[in-house]
Amino acid sequence: MAEKKKNSVNSMKGKSCFVIMPISQQVGYEAGHFDFVYEDIIKPSIEATGMVPIRADETINTNLIQLDILRKVIGSDMAICDMSAKNPNVFYELGVRQAFDKPTVLMTDNVTSAPFDVSSLRYVEYQEKMSYRDVKSAVERLTQALIETYEKQDDKSEINSLIRLMELTAPAQLNSVDITDEDRTALQIMELSTAVNHMQVTQNKMLGLLSTDIDRHKSNARQFDTLESIMDSVNPNYHSESVKIKNSGRRDLTSLRKQLREFSESLPLDTQLNESK
């Protein structure tokens, strides 16, 4: 048995294993949770088989991001899919992978129920709390699942995807299509446009926060003026001390206005703040 496992690992050495999993923060999970899942469970399991782990956020470049990801989803020798949190992007990529009947190891944490569509397929379960013993056990089981799935990928009796489960006649096929320079440029422009729109949304949020901060200081200044008038009427000696405090507040407000103006001037003309604000 040990010799057979050794031979399997040798044949898997250098093969690519694409990881389909949540990358951004997920509701109900602590910040960075899935980074820990990748670093502590998934990556060690892949490396134990001799394969090379690939995760989308580690390989994204500036050129045709979505096409690069889909190529890896379809073309990688093996894939692991973590269904925890039921992330829509994860299931989209899993669906593409399964449509081509590519070997995939499914996994999920113990607090996520397996979706009905894949509940009949085998998957590795790990503990969401990820204690030392739980992580160690998960790595061992996931490593073994990778080896077994790789060994049986050509065994049509092995149910590894919905294609085989539903007994469809054949998986999807990729046609060989050459992308012209014109089409490639159009795709790049589309992605750049999306990126610019995202940047503008972020800029508008930052401008909104700065404007809110200035409005808050204006409100405080008005309240201070009102309070000052009351105190002056009650205690004539109050005025000299209040001037120092008020001048300090005005310097703070002036600093905020300067920051807002400099930030606004760095933006495209159509997103700059009106100076009257």
CATH of the domain at 99: 3.40.50.450
pLDDT surpassing 90 at residue 20: yes
In a domain, 38, yes or no: yes
In a domain, 176, yes or no: no
103, 165 in Cβ contact below 8 A?
no
Q: Is 10 or 5 the better-scoring residue by pLDDT?
A: 10
pLDDT at residue 244, as a whole number: 53
If you write DSSP's letter for every residue of 2-59 in order, what string do you get?
HHHHHHHHHHHTT-EEEEE---S--TTS-TTHHHHHIIIIIHHHHHHTT-EEEEHHHH
161 and 135 co-located in one domain: yes
166 and 40 co-located in one domain: yes
**Domain span holding position 242:** 183-271
Domain closes at, from 171, 206, 234: 171
Domain count for the chain: 2
146 and 218 co-located in one domain: no
Nearest C-alpha neighbor of 110 from the set 83, 150, 71 = 83
pLDDT surpassing 70 at residue 28: yes
> How many other C-beta atoms are found inside a 10 Å radius of the C-beta of residue 80?
28
175 token code pair? 């046609």
202 and 106 co-located in one domain: no
Binning pLDDT at 50, 70 and 90, where does residue 276 land? very low
168 token code pair? 């469809």
In a domain, 13, yes or no: yes
134 and 55 co-located in one domain: yes
Going by DSSP bridges, is the β-strand pair 104-109/52-55 parallel, antiparallel, or unpaired? unpaired
252 and 125 co-located in one domain: no
137 and 113 co-located in one domain: yes
160 and 188 co-located in one domain: no
pLDDT at residue 271, as a whole number: 46
In a domain, 178, yes or no: no
166 and 187 co-located in one domain: no
pLDDT in tens, 43-57: 999 999 999 999 987
8 and 135 co-located in one domain: yes
Domain closes at, from 171, 194, 211: 171
In a domain, 216, yes or no: yes
In a domain, 277, yes or no: no
pLDDT at residue 259, as a whole number: 59
pTM for this prediction: 0.59
44 and 122 co-located in one domain: yes
In a domain, 217, yes or no: yes
Give 85's Cβ-side CA count (13 Å radius).
Answer: 21
* Residues constituting the chain: 277
Q: Is 206 or 136 the better-scoring residue by pLDDT?
A: 136
Domain closes at, from 119, 151, 171: 171
pLDDT at residue 190, as a whole number: 72
75 and 157 co-located in one domain: yes
Distance CA 225, CA 96 (A): 64
In a domain, 70, yes or no: yes
Distance CA 170, CA 99 (A): 9
